[in-house]
């Protein structure tokens, strides 16, 4: 359970493959003809039905395979046409229905796969030709998933796509595109019951690109405009949000889109088990200021706007007071909004998920209460960072330089400023509690999912809990990035 929940955050195939599946029936099917081959390993539950039909002709293989059943099942496909490869893999524990078609003809290999099921399910397709490769992955824990996936490879071009709907206790999708020139990836995941919709196409030839959209609980998190902006430059964006799930608990979701020119060995995310970093950091002594929109909270002179500014400032200062670096603008102990403080008011109305040209100088960071964040999402932080400009932490660890961070609170929900910390549940969200967590994302800390993380600021809180102070693990993460108070 824990492993799969972590997967939603880490989003690598190796984690998915840890899913414990103990199928009982092993079947291997192989076809080969002049320059073309196709083989499948089936490890199926005894209750699972299999139909595999292949047609061989002069250098051409065409196959269709259907699997349906329940229990523990594993299927892996490899099809090759003159060194151009497409692969797929499915792991399932629960109800499964999968149809896979594959063709190898001339120099082109193609595979399409419709997979649906309930329980625990993971599926991946890959295409590889020369220095190009693309991959689509999706996985759900204790839920339902339906995906149409495809992969194509031939003559130094690779292409793959997925149209996927996931609903469950945890889930993840990823889409990757790699070429000799650049690597692009879009990764999304959640922990807490929710719905993830991924409609992405990865294409790799001379350059690698990804097109489409990724939505969580009906909220579009990255759209095609954002992805094309990422693809054209060396910038990455990460959206991290908190939402209220169907059981009334708080859950966490995140989507990251990144493009790097040269394949990098850098680890984008580091997790020592106590805290986790996102891979970006702000340059030293910038310092950061957020422009808080007065659009829905009242004019800058109103009591309510001042309340919002004070609560957010308190949240930001909780981080600032615990590190040697001057991370946020203004004195750490005064919370009067204005040009010299962490919060300045603005009447500008900006759209969530859009980059406004921040360059890492601490300006152009935005916060708003907005009705454009809808559904069960409580708050989302979009952070933009350079993938080709680096800054170094106190222990010389290299990070991507943060460029802009924008925090949006759901204006369709109710908000309050609690008087004191409390473990009691409440259907109205405490501004300072949520702001402190989201500001942690701005700084470069990632969400934590484990049962051992429940008292940390970077954990998804219990419903309505008021928690203002950083846990020891949050402090360790802050110090890793910016150093302790000297
Ligand atoms: Zn978060």
- Provide the pLDDT for residue 332: 62
- The Å distance, Cα 74 to ligand 1 centre, comes to 33
Q: In this structure, what token pair is assigned to residue 200?
A: 């992405």
pLDDT tier for residue 387 given thresholds of 50, 70 and 90: confident
Q: Tens digits of per-residue pLDDT, 331-348?
A: 766 667 777 899 999 999
- The Å distance, Cα 434 to ligand 1 centre, comes to 9
More confident residue, 85 or 356: 85
Q: In this structure, what token pair is assigned to residue 56?
A: 């061989």
- The Å distance, Cα 250 to ligand 1 centre, comes to 10
What is the mean pLDDT of the segment spanning 243-264?
Answer: 76
Which residues touch 262 (CB under 8 Å, ≥6 apart)?
182
3-state secondary structure of 483: coil
- The Å distance, Cα 149 to ligand 1 centre, comes to 29
SS (H, E, C) 36-49: EEEEEEEEECCCCE
More confident residue, 485 or 16: 485
Q: Tens digits of per-residue pLDDT, 314-324?
A: 999 999 999 98
Lowest mean pLDDT among 20-24, 66-70, 302-306, 309-313: 20-24
What is the mean pLDDT of the segment spanning 216-239?
Answer: 84
Q: Tens digits of per-residue pLDDT, 228-237?
A: 888 877 778 8
- The Å distance, Cα 242 to ligand 1 centre, comes to 6
Q: Is the pLDDT of residue 401 over 90?
A: yes
Q: Is the pLDDT of residue 6 over 60?
A: no
Q: Is the pLDDT of residue 8 over 70?
A: no
DSSP secondary structure string for all residues of 68-99:
EE-SEEEEEEEEEETTEEEEEEEEEEEEEEEE
User: How far apart are alpha carbons 186 and 259 in whole angstroms?
Assistant: 9
Fold assignment, 281-482: Collagenase (Catalytic Domain) (3.40.390)
- The Å distance, Cα 461 to ligand 1 centre, comes to 10
- Provide the pLDDT for residue 7: 30
- The Å distance, Cα 445 to ligand 1 centre, comes to 9
**Half-sphere CA count of 49, side-chain side, radius 13 A:** 5
- The Å distance, Cα 178 to ligand 1 centre, comes to 28
Gyration radius from the chain CA atoms = 24
Q: Tens digits of per-residue pLDDT, 100-150?
A: 999 999 899 999 999 999 999 999 999 999 999 999 999 999 999 999 999
What is the mean pLDDT of the segment spanning 399-407?
Answer: 95
pLDDT tier for residue 193 given thresholds of 50, 70 and 90: confident
Task: Determine how β-strand 398-410 pairs with β-strand 365-370.
Answer: parallel
Which of left, alpha, beta for 437 (phi over 0: left; psi -120 to 50: alpha)?
Answer: alpha
- The Å distance, Cα 361 to ligand 1 centre, comes to 24
- The Å distance, Cα 431 to ligand 1 centre, comes to 14
pLDDT tier for residue 192 given thresholds of 50, 70 and 90: confident
- For the packed helices 303-320 and 431-443, what is the interaxial angle rounded to 10 degrees? 50
User: How far apart are alpha carbons 338 and 290 in whole angstroms?
Assistant: 10
More confident residue, 388 or 20: 388
Q: Tens digits of per-residue pLDDT, 27-84?
A: 888 888 888 899 999 999 988 999 988 888 877 899 999 999 999 999 999 999 999 9
Residues of the chain within CATH 3.40.390.10 domain(s) are: 281-482
pLDDT tier for residue 218 given thresholds of 50, 70 and 90: confident
Which position has the token pair 């002594």?
285
- The Å distance, Cα 312 to ligand 1 centre, comes to 16
pLDDT tier for residue 11 given thresholds of 50, 70 and 90: very low
Nearest to 196 by CA among 176, 225, 226, 172: 172
* Count of beta carbons in the 10 Å neighbourhood of residue 269: 16
User: How far apart are alpha carbons 78 and 101 in whole angstroms?
Assistant: 12
Q: Is the pLDDT of residue 203 over 60?
A: yes
- The Å distance, Cα 449 to ligand 1 centre, comes to 10
Q: Is 50 exposed, middle or buried (0-12, 13-18, 19+ CB in 10 A)?
A: middle
- The Å distance, Cα 408 to ligand 1 centre, comes to 12
């Amino acid at each position: 359970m824990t492993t799969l929940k972590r997967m939603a955050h880490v989003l690598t195939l190796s984690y998915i493959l840890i899913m414990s599946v103990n199928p009982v029936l092993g079947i291997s099917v192989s076809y080969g003809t002049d320059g073309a081959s196709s083989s499948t390993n089936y490890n199926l539950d005894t209750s699972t039905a299999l139909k595999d039909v292949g047609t061989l002709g002069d250098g051409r293989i065409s196959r269709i395979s259907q699997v349906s059943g329940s229990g523990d099942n594993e299927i892996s496909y490899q099809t090759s046409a003159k060194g151009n490869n497409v692969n797929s893999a499915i792991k399932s524990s629960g109800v499964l229905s999968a149809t896979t078609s594959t063709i190898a003809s001339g120099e082109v290999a193609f595979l399409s796969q419709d997979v649906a099921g309930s329980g625990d399910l993971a599926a991946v397709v890959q295409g590889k030709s020369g220095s190009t490769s693309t991959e689509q992955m999706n996985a759900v824990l204790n839920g339902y998933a339906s995906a149409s996936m495809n992969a194509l490879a031939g003559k130094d071009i690779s292409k793959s796509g997925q149209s996927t709907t996931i609903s469950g206790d945890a889930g993840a999708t990823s889409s990757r595109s790699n070429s000799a020139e650049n690597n692009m990836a879009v990764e999304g995941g959640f922990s807490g019951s929710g719905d993830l919709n991924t409609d992405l196409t990865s294409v790799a030839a001379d350059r690698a690109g990804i097109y489409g959209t990724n939505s969580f609980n009906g909220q579009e998190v990255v759209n095609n405009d954002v992805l094309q902006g990422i693809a054209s430059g060396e910038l990455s964006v990460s959206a991290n949000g908190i939402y209220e799930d169907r059981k009334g608990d708080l859950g966490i979701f995140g989507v990251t889109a990144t493009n790097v020119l040269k394949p990098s060995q850098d680890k984008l995310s580091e997790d020592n088990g106590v805290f986790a970093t996102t891979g970006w950091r702000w340059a030293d002594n910038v310092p950061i200021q957020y422009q808080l929109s007065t659009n829905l909270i009242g004019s800058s002179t109103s009591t309510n706007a001042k309340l919002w500014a004070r609560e957010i400032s308190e949240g930001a200062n909780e981080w600032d007071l615990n590190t040697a670096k001057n991370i946020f603008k203004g004195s750490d102990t005064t919370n009067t909004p204005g040009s010299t403080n962490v919060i300045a008011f603005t009447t500008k109305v900006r759209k969530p998920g859009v980059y406004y040209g921040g360059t890492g100088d601490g300006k152009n960071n935005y916060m708003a209460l907005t009705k454009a964040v809808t559904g069960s999402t409580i708050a989302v932080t979009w952070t933009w960072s350079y993938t080709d400009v680096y800054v170094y932490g106190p222990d010389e660890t290299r990070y991507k330089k943060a460029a802009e961070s924008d925090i949006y609170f759901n204006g369709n929900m109710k908000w309050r400023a609690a008087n004191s910390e409390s473990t009691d549940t409440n259907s109205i969200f405490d501004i300072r509690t949520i702001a402190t967590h989201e500001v942690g994302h701005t700084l470069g800390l990632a969400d934590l999912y484990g049962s051992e993380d429940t008292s940390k600021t970077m954990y998804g809180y219990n419903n309505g809990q008021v928690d203002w102070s950083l846990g020891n693990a949050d402090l360790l993460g802050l110090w890793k990035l910016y150093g302790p108070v000297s």
